[in-house]
A and B are shown apart, each in its own frame.
Chain A
Amino acid sequence: MKILVINCGSSSVKYQLIDTEQELALAKGNVARIGMSASVLTHKPYDRPETKVTAEILDHIVAIEYVVSILMSKNHGVISDRSEIQAVGHRVVHGGEKFTESVLITKELMSELRSLIELAPLHNPHNIRGINACMKTLPGIPQVAVFDTAFHHHIPDYAYIYGIPYLLYKKYGIRRYGFHGTSHRYVSERAAAMVGRPLSGMKLITAHLGNGASVAAIDGGVSIDTSMGFTPLEGLLMGTRSGDMDPAIILHIMAREELSLHEANTLLNKHSGFIGISGVSSDVREIIESANSGNKRAQLAFNVFCYRLKKYIGAYSAAMSGLDTLVFTGGVGENAPDVRAKSCEGLDYLGLEIDTEKNAAVKGEETEISSTDSRVKVLVIPTNEELMIARDTLRIVSEQVSQ
């Protein structure tokens, strides 16, 4: 089956057309600067060079129309007719408590999705816009929503409830939801395949380290805790986000600096993390470069990041009463050996030891980097959320849509 996987942002659409039989992305690309007079469509067929198109793309409907057109184009296309697209899979950030797995999109579902906007005001509206656009452009084609939060829905109440009045949980749904679920799920399945054991008997920690970063404790294939919480702000230090902190700090700063809600929000989400501590960059590669050339604050940011990650590894080992596999994924997890080395330093008491040479030699492929003596396997696995979305879409469409 050929499945179009869509990830809509406020002014962007990322897409992949995936052939599920070969599990191959026939083409991938994105539309950037939607709503501007000079939007850019970047498109890369798997067997031909990348191409760019500049056009006036005023909304997501036009953007999806452009995507479908270029997929069918003579020179850059990979299909000859839009009917070859048999299903569409959408990344939807927030599924709330209602959506615990991927679902076929129906009219009723759309109204429930809209009711979740309050929980993810920055993401869900754009995801919904993308779904509506596909309904217009590809009428009658089944569509599936795959939620970032769904994989974490088994987290027990004692791990998802915050220590604030319970009323606020009932009233506003304030609890831990967790994010990056599709990625944590994908790499956990790949990890089981790599070590050749059933996932159901494994105690895994998966670290998705990208611009946003989260850790998950996966016991027997089930996420039982994760570092992101009610929003993607909690947990690890990130490119521009603070991660864990004393909540009183923000109240204190708001009073002292006379900040508005908006300013406080931007402070925590855009001016904090690596950029906030280092003043150098939000990009871990640049942080490491700068740290290596002696910049003290870059070193500090790097140390804060790795220390927190190590704490989460310890905490989640305790939560699962053990650990047998640790997975690194995401741009930083896959490409920064320094981060992997530093955050695993001194974890030999857990039976975890990294092989320095293997760690340094990882090149964009699934690789085991633990030493031969290490009881805990440490793996680097490139994530592939789009493939996971395509797999879910294939399964749901095959089960639920009568051909």
Chain B
Amino acid sequence: MATPKIIVIGAGVMGQGLAEAIASEGNEVLLIDKTMRLAERGVRGIAEAMDREITKWGLTESDKKAILARIIPSSDLTLADEAEIVIEAIPEDLEKKQSLFAKLDSLCPPDCLLITNTGTISISEIAAATERPEKIIGMHFLNPVTKIPLVEIVKGLKTDEETFEKAVAFAQLLNKEYITVNEYPGYVTTRIIVPLLNEAMHVLMEGVATAEDIDRAMKLGFGFNVGPLTLADMMGLDVVMSWMENLLRELSEHKYNPCPLLRKMVRAGHLGVKTGKGFFEYDEEGNKIKKE
């Protein structure tokens, strides 16, 4: 079997979502992580996510089979030497991303679209690690990738027009609406949502209202699909904190200072849905456990 032309690097939650979204649109995709075990765990994660979707009637067993058949796990980065599109979803860490892009720079064909999926890190800074900064672009997908119809396409300082056009075509391939963002810390979505989540945590910490009521107020009062504290739990409290720290470092503004309650919960390992406990409690399937 030929190697797929689209590659996702990093088989965590974001990488899984990307691979599923790409395969759902009928494309084969290579899902790469450091070890085969991690990559295969990623594929299992995708299968489990699809099982949940089947119970909500969003998919059928045969859809699932067809989608999984298009996702090939691997630990061999050198397979990127014939790739047309490479998108990275490794942890939100500048050094790790720079080192990955330096490797990709030496491996990938010159016309390959190189995408970083970051919410807060500078595209230009990542691109600086390569000899082709004009070919690097950011595409900030939101979790869960298969359900959120938006992607932010982020131009680095040197990103050229051709690369941007390719990124637009990739967004369309995945059936996503896009907005164009000129690089600036936090772009649009992260920059606006993070202080809102932080403020909700302050309201909780100061004893103004219960977590349930804070979420209910924002859902009913402002038409949010999900309340802010639930949303933070879904994103992962460690992830929310790392975004805030990145924004704080870049912009040095007090409003990006993580709420002490958030710091405390991250230190205690209460990271939200993925650990079963955050502002609310969750079962193994990730469903909120309703308090009696």
In the complex, which residues 59-106 of chain B have their Cβ closer than 8 Å to any Cβ of chain A? 59-60, 63, 69-70
Closest B residue by C-beta to A36: B28
Q: Which residues of B contact A259 (CB under 8 A)?
A: 56-58
Does A322 count as interface, using CB distance less than 8 angstroms?
no
Contact of A257 with B by CB under 8 A: yes
Q: A308 near B: Cβ within 8 Å?
A: no
Closest CB of chain A to B147's CB: distance in Å?
7
Interface hits, A266-282 → B, CB 8 Å: 266-267, 270-271
Is there contact, CB below 8 Å, between B2 and A56?
Answer: yes
A197 within 8 A of B: no
Contact pick for B28, options A37, A260, A266, A271, CB 8 Å? A37
- Interface residue? B1 (CB, 8 A): yes
A263 at the interface (CB under 8 A from B): yes
**Does A267 lie within 8 Å of B28, measured CB to CB?**
no
* A271 contacts B2, C-beta separation under 8 Å: no
Return the CB mask of A13-52 against B: 1 if under 8 Å, else 0.
0000000000000000000000111100000000000000
Cβ of A11 < 8 Å from any Cβ of B? yes
Contacts of A260 in B (CB 8 A): 58, 147
B52 CB to nearest chain A CB (Å): 11
| Nearest CB on A from B140, distance (A) | 21
Which bracket fits the contact residues of B?
10 to 19
Shortest beta-carbon distance from A74 to chain B in Å: 27
Decide yes or no whether B286 CB sits under 8 A from chain A. no
Complex contact A267–B57 (CB within 8 A): yes
B190 within 8 A of A: no
The reply to whether A10 and B26 form a contact with Cβ atoms under 8 Å apart is yes
What residues on B are CB-neighbors of A252 within 8 Å?
none
Within 8 A of B (CB), among A223-277: 240, 257, 259-260, 262-264, 266-267, 270-271
Q: Chain B binding site: helix, strand, loop or mixed by DSSP?
A: loop
Given A10-B26, A11-B26, A260-B147, is A37 in contact with B57 using a C-beta cutoff of 8 Å?
A: no
B27 interface residue, CB < 8 Å from A? Answer: yes
Which residues on the B side are within 8 Å of A262 (C-beta)? 58, 147
Closest approach, in angstroms, between the C-beta of A130 and any C-beta of chain B? 16
Using A11-B26, A35-B27 as known contacts, say yes or no to A257 and B2 having CB atoms under 8 A apart. no
CA distance A56 to B28 in the complex (A): 12
Q: With CB as the reference atom, state the residue of chain B lying closest to A262.
A: B58
**Interchain CB contact (< 8 A) of A37 among B2, B56, B63, B147:** B2
Are B60 and A271 in contact, with the CB atoms below 8 A? yes
B29-61 near A? 1/0 per residue, CB < 8 Å = 000000000000000000000000100111110
Is the pair A266, B58 in contact by a Cβ cutoff of 8 Å? yes
Q: Given A37-B1, A260-B147: A266 and B70 within 8 A (CB)?
A: no
Q: With a CB–CB cut-off of 8 A, which chain B residues contact A264?
A: 57
Write out the residue numbers on chain B whose beta carbons fall within 8 Å of the beta carbon of A10: 26
In the assembled complex, the Cα of A267 lies from the Cα of B58 at a distance in Å of: 7
Which residues from A are CB-within-8-Å of B70? 36
Q: Closest CB of chain A to B226's CB: distance in Å?
A: 10
Cα distance, A270 to B147, chains bound together (Å): 18
- Closest B residue to A34 by beta carbon equals B26
Task: Give, as a whole number of angstroms, the nearest-CB distance from B125 to chain A.
Answer: 36
Mark out the residues of chain B between 170 and 204 whose CB falls within 8 Å of any chain A CB in the assembled complex.
none
Contacts of B1 in A (CB 8 A): 37-38
Q: Is the CB of A266 within 8 A of B147?
A: no
Contacts of B57 in A (CB 8 A): 259, 263-264, 266-267, 270-271
Provide the bound-state CA to CA distance between A387 and B248, in Å: 69
Give 12 A-B contacts (CB < 8 Å), ordered by A residue.
A35-B26, A35-B28, A37-B2, A259-B58, A260-B58, A263-B57, A266-B59, A267-B57, A267-B58, A270-B63, A271-B57, A271-B60
Given A35-B26, A37-B1, A259-B57, 11 extra CB contacts under 8 A: A37-B4, A56-B2, A240-B60, A263-B53, A263-B56, A263-B57, A263-B58, A264-B57, A266-B58, A267-B58, A270-B57
Name the 7 nearest CB pairs between A and B, nearest first: A267-B57, A263-B58, A37-B2, A271-B57, A37-B1, A270-B60, A35-B26
Interface residues of B (CB under 8 A from A): 1-2, 4, 26-28, 53, 56-60, 63, 69-70, 147
